[in-house]
Amino acid sequence: MRFPPSFLDEIRDRVPISNLIGTRVSFDRKKTNAAKGDFWACCPFHGEKTPSFHCEDRKGRYHCFGCGVTGDHFKFLTDLEGLNFPEAVQRVADMAGVPMPARDAEAEKREAQRATLHDVMDMAAGFFEQQLQAAAGAKARAYLRERGLSAATQQAFRLGYAPESRNALKEHLALKGVTREQMEACGLVVHGEGIAVSYDRFRDRVMFPIEDLRGRVIAFGGRALSPDVPAKYLNSPETELFHKGQMLYNALRARKACQPQGGDPAKAVIAVEGYMDVIALAQAGIGQVVAPMGTALTEDQLDLLWRISPEPVLCFDGDQAGVRAAHRAVDLGLPALKPGRSLRFALLPEGKDPDDLVKADGPQAFHAVLRDARPLADMLWTRETSGGVFDTPERRAELEARMREITSRIGDENVRRHYAQEMRDRAQQFFGQARQRNQMGNQRGNNRNGYGQGAVGQGGYGQRGRGAPGRLGVSDSLARSSLVKSASSTSMPPLRETAILLMLLNHPRLIDEDFEAMAALDLQHPLLRRLHLAMLDAMAEANLQDGTEMREALRIAGHGETIETLELIVRRARVWTATDRAAEEDAREALKQAVHLHQRARVLHKELRAVEAALMDDETGEVFGRLLDIQNEIRKAEATEALIEGFGIPSGRPAGGF
């Protein structure tokens, strides 16, 4: 019996090859990385004592580096267990829960027709390629040159041109014996009720062939060259070969580019918006990029991304529309999260797409965007809290209830539990409900007189003035401010974050010197985050050069009272480098030190939360040892910070002076 390739592909995709092979071998725990679908074992085909047999779920293949055997699901069963091919197919189909196809002469005939349709699509792609190089393709070639695409890149992606004539492709295919029915089945012509004679679907467009995961052309995307055409981009319609919501442009090349090469580790697949972004990034050396077909990401496309790599990066424009699209992707991905399967989100600078970015600043600019990609949990938390006011118990309870409802959508029980814990931890920190380790940190800060020499700390403020231990004494004017009124009694702004923002406020040029790093600051306190965003907006709207201009812009935006309160905090703590009296050179050095300490503290505490969560499930000595290691690193970081005499104070300057 001949099995349709589509059926074989389906059952292979549904059964990770490690599940099949795991029934006959024991995977090596040290070399195996199950989260990445990477498994090692002693080879079942020849005797060995050290594991050299390797299988990868992403590829659906196995290979032994000892005896050289290689193959897929079916070959494993035929070679190891002696099954014939139909029996092997039956075994995998049973594991996949997919019924075997009945022998159907009509189905076999349709499969043969599908093969013929692939031939027709390949002929069409060849025709468009020829037309691009012909006299009629001059303006298409000019367009591609303007977009910076080399001849080699155009050839690699089989770019072409559809002539303006209504029947150019139709006549070309007819001369090659292609029937009207085949052209219609491929979606190459417009036909139907009210159309007496069919005509070419694509006319006067740059053509982008769309391939399936076997490298066969199944559809086209066309970019109009005339500004008067209503649809700038036009895709093939749904056909027997092409289902738009199930495919990703460049998936085959991206899957190959993601695989480990030359000793480098596997890369994460990156999803961008359009064809030109994919091609421009590939030309810049970033080949692991795909794009949906001009629509929002679908469940099938997301599943395909996860089959390529366990943690895809979804890249969106940094404008409001891009952020909304990212939020839709969060909701789409949540139910399908599993151990080792998640998403990261990269937001581009507003007004720039990947193509613009690599042209203006080179591939390193796009790599910088990728380095700043945020995990799904961050995107979810930011979406639910950004711009919100949680100044009453009822509003805080509402946020917690909403987070519980959202995380309940996660299908996997373990991931759901960890997300619920993560959101609870964030809520407690957000509302200022200090955890035990922070109280211990504050107590240690008290013993050191709480940054009395002006060190910019994370949790405490020193014992300057009356009030709770480890907290800054609150003056009457500070107590009346909206900053204090809108925060809970234990949620005063962290001193280090306060100092960082005031250094940037007083010296806006420091923002401009390293805008990406300053824009990516991960601030704990919600009001500081709002002020931070307002500062970035002010810099984007006008290239502010001094603190007076920045202060006025923020005052107009309604942040004047917040600034006064923050200035009172740093004056009481005597962090003079964060005041408007500090020279720019002194502020620059203090800022560098403060940002380094801030980032290190955030990383350590995030790792601590992850290990504490892991300890709930795995109380082995290895996990507990990692917990102790991180706690020691945190203590060392705090001790180092405490030893920085007069943090940010150049030699010869007094610590006080207010």
Cα 158 off chain centre by = 28
Closest to 157 measured CA to CA, from 206, 208, 212: 208
* C-alpha closest to that of 203 among 179, 168, 154, 155: 168
User: What pLDDT score does 613 carry?
Assistant: 66
| Same-domain status, 351 and 275 | yes
Q: Which of 435-449, 456-470, 515-529 has the highest mean pLDDT?
A: 515-529
Dump pLDDT digits (tens) for 107-160.
666 666 666 899 999 999 999 999 999 999 999 999 999 999 999 999 999 999
In terms of domains, do 144 and 43 share one?
no
State whether 373 and 398 are in the same domain: no
Q: Which of 35, 70, 96 is the last residue of a domain?
A: 96
Residue 468: pLDDT band with limits 50, 70, 90: very low
| Whole-number pLDDT of residue 224 | 95
H/E element holding 85? helix 85-96
Residue 446 binned pLDDT confidence (cut-offs 50, 70, 90): very low
pLDDT in tens, 521-546: 888 788 888 898 888 878 877 777 78
Please indicate, yes or no, if residue 655 is contained in any of the structural domains: no
d(Cα 588, Cα 514) in Å, to the nearest integer? 11
Residue 519 lies in a domain: yes
CB atoms within 10 A of CB 408: 11
Which residues neighbour 568 within 8 Å (Cβ) at sequence distance 6 or greater?
A: 475, 477, 478
- How many C-beta atoms lie closer than 10 Å to residue 49's C-beta? 6
649 domain-assigned: no
Q: How many domains does the chain have?
A: 5
Residues 477 and 626 in one domain: yes
Residues 442 and 331 both lie in one domain: no
Looking at residue 629, what DSSP letter applies? H
CATH number at 25 reads 3.90.580.10
Residue 642: is its pLDDT beyond 60? Answer: no
Q: Please identify which residue in the block is written with the tokens 């009453």.
A: 392
Residues 185 and 286 in one domain: no
| Three-state SS at 339 | coil
Who has greater pLDDT, 644 or 545?
545
pLDDT in tens, 293-314: 877 899 999 999 998 888 999 9
Report the alpha-carbon distance of residue 639 to residue 633 in Å, rounded. Answer: 10
- DSSP calls for 108-134: HHHHHHHHHHHHHHHHHHHHHHHHHHS
% of the chain at pLDDT higher than 70: 80
End-to-end CA distance of the chain: 89
* More confident position, 48 or 615: 48
Per-residue confidence (pLDDT) for residue 112, from 0 to 100: 62
Distance in angstroms (rounded) separating the CA atoms of residues 80 and 88: 11
Determine contact, residues 159/223, Cβ cutoff 8 Å.
Answer: no
pLDDT at 657: 33
Whole-number pLDDT of residue 618? 58
The Cα–Cα gap between 451 and 644 comes to 9
Q: Final residue of a domain: which of 402, 430, 458?
A: 430
pLDDT at position 637 is 61
CB 527 within 8 A of CB 493: yes
Confidence of residue 645 (pLDDT cuts 50, 70, 90): very low
| The pLDDT of residue 428 | 83
pLDDT digits (tens, 9 = 90+) for 66-123: 888 889 999 999 888 878 888 899 999 999 998 888 766 666 666 666 668 999 999 9
Domain with residue 262: its CATH number is 3.40.1360.10
Residue 494 confidence (pLDDT): 84
Q: Say yes or no: 367 and 490 in one domain.
A: no
Helix (H, G, I), strand (E, B) or coil at 622: helix
Predicted confidence at residue 476, as pLDDT, reads 40
Q: Dihedral (C-alpha) 71, 252, 365, 528: value to the nearest 10 degrees?
A: -80
| 414: containing domain | 387-430
61 and 76 inside one domain: yes
pLDDT at 18 over 90: yes
Q: What is the Cα–Cα distance from 341 to 209, expressed in whole angstroms? A: 30
Residues 234 and 318 in one domain: no
Distance (Å, whole) CA 318 – CA 354 = 11
**Residue 119 backbone phi and psi in degrees, to 5:** -65, -40
pLDDT tens-place string over residues 253-290? 998 888 777 667 889 999 998 899 999 999 999 999 99
Q: State the residue for tokens 């307002």.
A: 534
State residue 410's pLDDT score.
Answer: 94
Q: How confident is the model at residue 236 (pLDDT cuts 50, 70, 90)?
A: very high
- CB distance 527 to 486 below 8 Å: yes
pLDDT at 484 over 60: no
Is residue 442 included in any domain, yes or no? yes
pLDDT at 622 exceeding the cut of 90 = no
Q: Which of 169 and 453 is assigned the larger pLDDT?
A: 169
Region label for 18, one of left (φ > 0), alpha (ψ between -120 and 50) or beta (otherwise): alpha
Q: Where are the alpha helices (DSSP H) in 432-494?
A: 436-447, 476-480, 482-485
pLDDT over 90 (residue 19): yes
Distance of CA 586 to the CA centre of its chain: 37
Strand partners, 233: 223
Encode pLDDT of 357-394 as tens digits: 999 889 999 999 999 999 999 999 999 988 788 888 89
Tell me, yes or no, whether 216 lies in a domain: yes
| pLDDT range class, residue 59, cuts 50, 70, 90 | confident
> Would the pLDDT of 486 be above 60?
no
Q: Tokens in use for 54? A: 């390797």
Continuous segment of H or E residues that includes residue 9 = helix 5-14
Q: Are residues 395 and 532 in the same domain?
A: no
The mean pLDDT of the chain is 81
DSSP code for 238? P
pLDDT at residue 488 above 70? no
Asked if the structure places residue 638 within a domain, the reply is yes
Residue 467 lies in a domain: yes
Q: Of the candidates 229, 11, 24, 414, which has an alpha carbon nearest to the alpha carbon of residue 3?
A: 11
Q: Do residues 287 and 168 both lie within one domain?
A: no
Residue 473: inside a domain? yes
pLDDT at 413: 92
Residue 468 sits in the same domain as residue 614? yes
Among candidate residues 268, 267, 282, the one with its CA nearest the CA of residue 313: 268
CA dihedral 26, 31, 36, 42 (to 10 degrees): -40
Beta partners for residue 189, in sequence order = 200
The residue among 47, 78, 96 that closes a domain is: 96
**What percentage of the chain exceeds 90 in pLDDT?**
42
What's the pLDDT score for residue 239? 94
